[in-house]
């Protein structure tokens, strides 16, 4: 049997996580993550779908939006949990502790330097005191001399007393002079920090999870706002400017212009994030996920050797779905713009209409992805081509340890009855 043709079309889908993979099967969803010590841990996730509770949400077109929202929600929860299981939070805490230890060591050295300077000042004061005592003896001897030497002795005594006063002032000002040294700020800061109580680690893993959830929620809000700005408002704004420069000659091409611009923005975004170290590893796990699903669809045993031979580009990938949805939106909005030519002139209204039509476009894109997943012919290859090409960015070749994680997650969700796993 050719590798290009699958003997089975599985409904199992997955998502790459932080040092792990989530596989969603017909009956359960399992997340497998590799910890810092190399151990693979797996957890069952509660991902009951609305389609199972109400048949309405399983209808064509409607099920697309439901699946997308559920994928975002379940994927977000799994991503946060994988960050906890993988030890990423512990690594961050370890880095913070290392920085704190380094700072404490620096403060300790500063305190030692301060004590050494203090001892040096104390020795100087002792030496000055001894010199003052000697001067007092000289003054006493001067008072017992003859009258002929009185004037000279008085002058000498005055000078000695002046020297004594200067010495006392030197002794009193010695600490201030040390404090006026170039390292004053450092020593004072070190002393203050040394006296401050050292905070001990009291947060538990559950608290870290709550913190990550809050941060994730805030990030999601900003992400949605950024997506609305980049994919809805910005293309219309740029087109309005370009069309103005062209003297209004591009009005009929607004939908096509904005659609192509959205695809360009999307591709540039993926290229940029793919350069991040952590994202690269996520994309490698993404490749392991696709390879493992292909291996299962081909009916081969799930081993590292067999999975490694498979392709990493799968037609049912979420990346393919997104790019396909963008292409469908270009065609859809071109039709809308032809029917209502003046509608797109108002940027805000045009943006709101596109947002309102988003569930419909998601539904159409979802049905096309399902169609491409069920069939392997010339037409489906053309439909899948943009998404497969884009997966060259969003998937990377995994190492064997990542494939092991994917196999662990995949094996856990394969149903006993193969009839339950029909795409």
User: Using one digit for the tens of pLDDT, what is the confidence trace for 57-74?
Assistant: 889 999 999 988 998 888
Contact 82, 23 (CB under 8 A): no
Contact 370, 315 (CB under 8 A): no
- What is the residue-averaged pLDDT of the chain? 78
What residues contact residue 45 under an 8 Å CB cut-off, 6+ apart? Answer: 22, 28, 29, 30, 31, 74, 77, 78, 81
Which residue did the predictor score with more confidence, 233 or 193? 233
pLDDT at 352: 87
**Beta strand extents in 255-297 (DSSP E only):** none
Cα–Cα separations (whole angstroms), residue 79 to 69, 121, 295, 334, 415:
15, 60, 25, 37, 24
Cα–Cα separations (whole angstroms), residue 264 to 369, 390, 394, 415:
21, 12, 15, 40
Please, what is the end-to-end C-alpha distance for the chain in angstroms? 20
Please name the helix (run of DSSP H) or strand (run of DSSP E) that holds residue 334, with its range, or none: helix 318-339
pLDDT at 43 over 90: yes
pLDDT at 224: 67
Given its phi and psi angles, is residue 198 left (phi above 0), alpha (psi -120 to 50 degrees) or beta?
Answer: beta
pLDDT at 322 over 80: yes
Residue written as token pair 């450092």: 186
Which residue did the predictor score with more confidence, 391 or 157? 391
Contact 277, 266 (CB under 8 A): no
Average pLDDT over residues 6-22: 87
CA–CA separation, 306 vs 31, rounded Å?
A: 22
DSSP 310: S
Cα–Cα separations (whole angstroms), residue 386 to 154, 320, 324, 392:
107, 7, 7, 10
pLDDT at 189: 41
Average pLDDT over residues 158-167: 51
> Phi and psi at residue 49, in whole multiples of 5°?
-90, 150
CA–CA separation, 302 vs 411, rounded Å?
A: 8
CA–CA separation, 261 vs 332, rounded Å?
A: 15
* Helices of type H across 345-422: 347-356, 358-374, 378-394, 400-413
pLDDT category at 184 given cuts 50, 70, 90 is very low
Contact 45, 29 (CB under 8 A): yes
pLDDT at 8: 76
Q: Which of 14-18, 32-36, 192-196, 218-222 has the lowest mean pLDDT?
A: 192-196
CA–CA separation, 344 vs 347, rounded Å?
A: 6
pLDDT category at 178 given cuts 50, 70, 90 is very low
User: Which tokens go with 277?
Assistant: 């170290």
pLDDT category at 4 given cuts 50, 70, 90 is very low
pLDDT category at 174 given cuts 50, 70, 90 is very low
Q: Which of 201-210, 228-237, 357-366 has the lowest mean pLDDT?
A: 201-210
pLDDT at 19: 95
pLDDT category at 157 given cuts 50, 70, 90 is very low
CA–CA separation, 230 vs 249, rounded Å?
A: 24
Average pLDDT over residues 226-245: 83
User: Which tokens go with 210?
Assistant: 């709550």
DSSP 182-249: TTHHHHHHHHHHHHSPPPPP---HHHHHHHHHHHHHHHHHHHHHHHHIIIIIHHHHHHHHHHHHTTTT
pLDDT at 176 over 70: no
Which residue did the predictor score with more confidence, 387 or 102? 387
CA–CA separation, 233 vs 352, rounded Å?
A: 10
Helix axes 88-143, 62-85, angle to 10 degrees: 40
pLDDT at 408 over 90: yes
User: Which tokens go with 404?
Assistant: 């092991």
CA–CA separation, 375 vs 9, rounded Å?
A: 9
pLDDT at 50: 86
Q: Which of 91-105, 139-153, 364-378 has the lowest mean pLDDT?
A: 139-153
pLDDT tens figures, 255-313 = 899 899 989 998 998 999 999 988 999 999 999 999 999 999 999 999 999 999 999 99
CA–CA separation, 317 vs 388, rounded Å?
A: 8
Contact 17, 282 (CB under 8 A): yes
CA–CA separation, 420 vs 177, rounded Å?
A: 85
CA–CA separation, 387 vs 369, rounded Å?
A: 10
pLDDT at 293: 95
Residues in the chain: 423
The radius of gyration of the chain's CA atoms, rounded to the nearest angstrom, is 38
For a pLDDT cut of 90, what percent of the chain falls above it? 31
CA–CA separation, 320 vs 300, rounded Å?
A: 25
User: Which tokens go with 113?
Assistant: 């330097």
CA–CA separation, 153 vs 147, rounded Å?
A: 9
């Amino acid at each position: 049997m050719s590798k290009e043709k699958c003997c089975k079309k599985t409904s199992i889908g997955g998502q790459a996580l932080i040092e792990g993979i989530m596989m969603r099967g017909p009956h359960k969803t399992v997340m497998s993550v590799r910890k810092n010590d190399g151990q693979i841990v797996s957890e069952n996730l509660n991902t009951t779908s609305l389609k199972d509770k109400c048949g309405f949400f399983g209808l064509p077109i409607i099920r697309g939006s439901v699946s997308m929202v559920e994928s975002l929600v379940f994927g977000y929860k799994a991503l946060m949990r994988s960050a906890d299981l993988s030890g990423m939070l512990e690594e961050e805490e370890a880095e913070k502790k290392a920085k704190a230890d380094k700072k404490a060591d620096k403060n300790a050295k500063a305190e030692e330097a301060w004590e050494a300077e203090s001892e040096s000042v104390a020795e100087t004061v002792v030496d000055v005191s001894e010199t003052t005592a000697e001067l007092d003896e000289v003054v006493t001897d001067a008072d017992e001399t003859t009258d002929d030497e009185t004037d000279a002795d008085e002058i000498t005594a005055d000078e000695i007393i002046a020297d004594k006063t200067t010495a006392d002032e030197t002794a009193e000002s010695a600490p201030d002079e040390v404090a006026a040294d170039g390292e004053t700020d450092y020593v004072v800061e070190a002393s203050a920090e040394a006296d401050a109580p050292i905070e001990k680690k009291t947060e538990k893993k559950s608290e870290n999870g709550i913190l990550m959830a809050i941060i994730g929620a805030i990030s999601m809000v900003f992400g949605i706002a950024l997506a609305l700005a980049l994919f809805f408002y910005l293309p219309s704004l740029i087109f309005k400017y370009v069309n103005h420069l062209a003297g209004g000659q591009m009005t009929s091409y607004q939908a096509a212009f904005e659609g192509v611009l959205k695809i360009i923005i999307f591709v540039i975004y993926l290229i940029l994030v793919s350069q991040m170290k952590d994202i690269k590893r996520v994309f490698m796990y993404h490749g392991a996920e696709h390879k493992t699903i292909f291996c299962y669809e081909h009916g081969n045993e799930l081993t590292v050797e067999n999975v490694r031979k498979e392709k990493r580009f799968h037609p049912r990938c979420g990346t393919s779905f997104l790019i396909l949805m963008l292409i469908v939106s270009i065609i859809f909005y071109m039709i809308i713009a032809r029917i209502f030519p003046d509608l797109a002139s108002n940027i805000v209204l045009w943006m709101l209409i596109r947002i309102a039509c988003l569930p419909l476009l998601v539904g159409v894109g979802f049905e096309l992805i399902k169609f491409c997943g069920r069939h392997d012919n010339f037409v489906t290859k053309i439909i899948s081509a943009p998404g497969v090409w884009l997966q060259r960015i969003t998937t990377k070749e995994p190492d064997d340890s990542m494939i092991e994680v994917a196999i662990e997650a995949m094996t856990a969700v394969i149903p006993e009855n193969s009839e339950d796993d029909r795409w």
